Amino acid sequence: MSVVRVYVPRDAAALAVGADDVASALRDALERRGAAVEIVRNGSRGLFWLEPLVEVETVRGRAAYGPVEVDDVESLIDGGLLEGGTHRLSRGLTEEIPYLARQERLTFARMGVIDPVSLDDYAAHDGWVGLRRALTMEPAALVDEVLQSGLRGRGGAAFPTGIKWKTVLATTAPQKYVACNADEGDSGTFSDRMTMEGDPFMLIEGMTIAGLAVGATKGYVYIRSEYPHAIATMNEAIARANAAGFLGDDLLGSGKAFHLETRKGAGSYVCGEETAMLESLEGKRGIVRAKPPLPAIEGLFGQPTVINNVISFASVPIIVAKGAAFYRDFGMGRSKGTLPFQLAGNIRQGGLVEKAFGITLRELLYDFGGGSASGRPIKAVQVGGPLGAYVPESQWDLPLDYEAYAAVGAVVGHGGLVVHDDTADMAQLARYAMEFCAIESCGKCTPCRIGSTRGVETIDRIVSPTTTHPREQQVHLLRDLCETMLYGSLCAMGGMTPYPVMSALNHYPHDFGIEPSLAPDVERDDASTQHKQPA
Amino acid sequence: MLEASQQQTLGVLLARHRSTPGGLLPLLHAVQEALGYVSADAVEDIARAFNLSRAEVHGVITYYHFFRSAPPGRCVVQVCRAESCKAVGGDALLAHAEAVLGCRSHHTRDDGAVTLEPVFCLGLCAMSPAILVDDRPHARMTPEKFDRLAARLEIAA
């Protein structure tokens, strides 16, 4: 009798809804029945509304069941789970679930398919192809491959990755570094976390290729402390890669070296800004540095440093394996390739949707997300994290493309979408944006440190005006304040907090007590499109 | 004053991390993991080992939300306050947790049984609202589920 493989995810989000309990209940029940099974703890497919999603390998492919609770285990087995039998929780073959079938999974191709820390699984699913090719290439050719792919920083700033690498390659220094920004603090985002927990060798491979491309032999992954599972999985994967020669002094016998270690953040949002992250990696308070010098020239410990987001590095192996043209053929305009969009907040089918740039918010919200979780109309979607604009329905048919979003004063950012239904009070959400900025400001520049607190007070007075503080005057003051923060802040923390605030004020004036007829000219007052984007 | 065993632990950890490049954060994480918090009494030794002023070490400890200067409760409950969780009742959940635990946010209950803290995003946003209890994540949280959890952990007031 052959051994049947049963998959139960180990992703933190699956664990958060009982995946460990389901896995042990399955193991116990199947052992009692004497079934020959192997339970694999895979990453998540990213179909989070179905988690815990149990899969069984059958001759037709992997059959999916979800969301599975401990109490469902006996009836699942009775219903022929091991043969892919039908059950109330049957979802058919995983690959045929429309939510997954309609995606363009390049970076997330292995996600949920493999055992995250199995080197055999990784190699069997196109792992290390990029690294092997990179080891045969000249650094300049490698940098050019990434440049030609059109890959732009996936952390949110969308700066061309190849340009950064080229800058570092051109420097001469005793030690260069590769630093991965895994301080994924934006609410509504989890693609970095999924990558580290579900396909960590992909990140290791991407960072190693970056090291080869720029001549860096040392890398750090800066992971936020709120992600204990990601830290543990990355550490295990790094240890295994070292033992197998994919990291270390002699990469696959090439004589080239690359060493990698993780560093744990400590609950500071602003450390997701690249220069604050460098300070933190150096063991200091995470205070933003003024630029220049660029980190590519004077970065970690004063040395040239490539800093990229998890998804930027994770996109590199497939680019090098399949060539720049393959990747560049996805997307539109100057937004090339794919982005893992993350559906979050008040959404019926929350999860990860990797699609080429150009898809619209409406498609993501309804074709994938299935509308709001509450069943009420969707009122606003915050795109791109806590520093992203609230996007109203009138803009839901715009293509998700860096330039198209910038043109309306919004940002694509790291691809997080937080959905709010019609019970949301946009004035309170605007106030929260200012409050969050006040809590998380590093304190180095005045517009951010003080402006955020004044912003909270001003919004309170707009909502509850007095004769000495009439609403019209306070709205004027808030606009002035936002302009000061936008143009006067040192980094995106203060510089982009006006995005959610102004978009809420401009698109939902009623929530601030402003009559629509008195609403300001939206086009004029939207956050500037020329402003720098977040790191 | 640190107890003798704490002092010894600190000494071992300082020896391990003092020459690590950028080693202060890894050291502070190690101290907090071993002792539960970073005592003000440890600052002087840390400063000496890293060739920093006490003010600099104090500055780092207090800059980061994660580091504690006082012992936490036996159980630490963190409730997400970020936008995704707010969109599905995160604020009400935090208020509910305060009532059930008999403990205000940012505080440790007088009996030392529980610490309640806000947290800004656990990366579980596709299944909000989310909380973290002693590093164990719980998502799609409801007041009823929270009550059952609190009862099981024996942390309800």
pLDDT of residue A517: 58
CB contact under 8 A, A286 and B135: no
What percentage of chain B carries pLDDT values higher than 70? 100
Q: Which of B46, B51, B127, B152 to mutate to test the interface with A (most CBs of A within 10 A)?
A: B127
Does position A534 have pLDDT exceeding 80, yes or no?
no
CB contact under 8 A, A226 and B65: no
Chain B neighbors of A364, CB-CB under 8 A: none
What percentage of chain A carries pLDDT values higher than 70? 96
Inside any domain, residue A113: no
CB contact under 8 A, B26 and A263: yes
**Do A88 and A176 have their domain in common?**
no
| Range A458-476 average pLDDT | 97
Given a contact cutoff of 8 angstroms between Cβ atoms, the answer to whether B87 and A419 are in contact is yes
Asked if B51 has any chain A CB less than 8 Å from its own CB, the reply is no
Residue A151: CATH number of its domain: 3.40.50.11540
Does position A523 have pLDDT exceeding 50, yes or no?
no
CB pairs under 8 A between A and B: 150
Given a contact cutoff of 8 angstroms between Cβ atoms, the answer to whether A442 and A368 are in contact is no
Asked if B106 has any chain A CB less than 8 Å from its own CB, the reply is no
Beta-bridge mates of residue A433: none
- A293, A314, A329 — which closes off a domain? A329
**Do A20 and A64 have their domain in common?**
yes
| Range A346-357 average pLDDT | 98
ipTM: 0.97
Does position A518 have pLDDT exceeding 90, yes or no?
no
Residue A410: CATH number of its domain: 3.10.20.600
- Residue A470 is part of which domain span? 426-525
SS3 A6: strand
Does position A110 have pLDDT exceeding 90, yes or no?
yes
Which tokens sit at B96? 């509910």
Inside any domain, residue A108: no
Q: State the alpha helices, DSSP H only, in A135-286.
A: 139-149, 161-169, 191-198, 200-214, 228-243, 274-281
CA A442/CA A38 separation, integer angstroms? 49
Given a contact cutoff of 8 angstroms between Cβ atoms, the answer to whether A475 and A514 are in contact is yes
Q: Name the CATH topology of B75-152.
A: Glutaredoxin (3.40.30)
User: Is the bond leading into A52 cis (omega within 30 degrees of zero)?
Assistant: yes
CB contact under 8 A, B65 and A267: yes
Residue A29: CATH number of its domain: 3.40.30.10
Give the closest-approach CA distance of B111 to chain A in angstroms: 26
Q: What is the DSSP string of B63-75?
A: HSTT--SSPPPSE
**Do A221 and A286 have their domain in common?**
yes
CA A434/CA A457 separation, integer angstroms? 9
**Do A395 and A497 have their domain in common?**
no
* Domain ranges for chain B: 4-63, 75-152
Best CA proximity match to A318, nearest among A186, A195, A176: A195
Under the banding of pLDDT at 50, 70 and 90, the label for residue A520 is: low
Under the banding of pLDDT at 50, 70 and 90, the label for residue A408 is: very high
Chain B neighbors of A16, CB-CB under 8 A: 124, 127, 130, 137-140
pLDDT of residue B1: 83
CB contact under 8 A, B66 and A266: yes
Q: Which of B84, B134, B141 to mutate to test the interface with A (most CBs of A within 10 A)?
A: B84
| Range B75-97 average pLDDT | 97
> Total structural domains in chain A?
4
Q: What is the pLDDT of residues A202-217, one digit of tens each?
A: 999 999 999 999 999 9
Give the closest-approach CA distance of A150 to chain B in angstroms: 28
CB contact under 8 A, B60 and A186: no
Does position A528 have pLDDT exceeding 80, yes or no?
no
Under the banding of pLDDT at 50, 70 and 90, the label for residue A535 is: very low
Asked if B148 has any chain A CB less than 8 Å from its own CB, the reply is no
CA B120/CA B107 separation, integer angstroms? 17
Asked if B52 has any chain A CB less than 8 Å from its own CB, the reply is no
pLDDT of residue A116: 98
Start-to-end CA distance of chain B, whole Å, equals: 32
Q: Please state whether the predicted TM-score (pTM) of the whole model is above 0.80.
A: yes
Inside any domain, residue A109: no
Indicate the residue of A285, A350, A373 with minimum beta-carbon distance to B60: A285
Asked if B23 has any chain A CB less than 8 Å from its own CB, the reply is yes
Asked if B86 has any chain A CB less than 8 Å from its own CB, the reply is yes
Chain A neighbors of B59, CB-CB under 8 A: 285
β-pairing, A416-421 vs A338-345, is parallel
Given a contact cutoff of 8 angstroms between Cβ atoms, the answer to whether B140 and B125 are in contact is no
Mean pLDDT of chain A: 95
- Give the residue carrying structure tokens 């420097």: A171
Mean pLDDT of chain B: 97
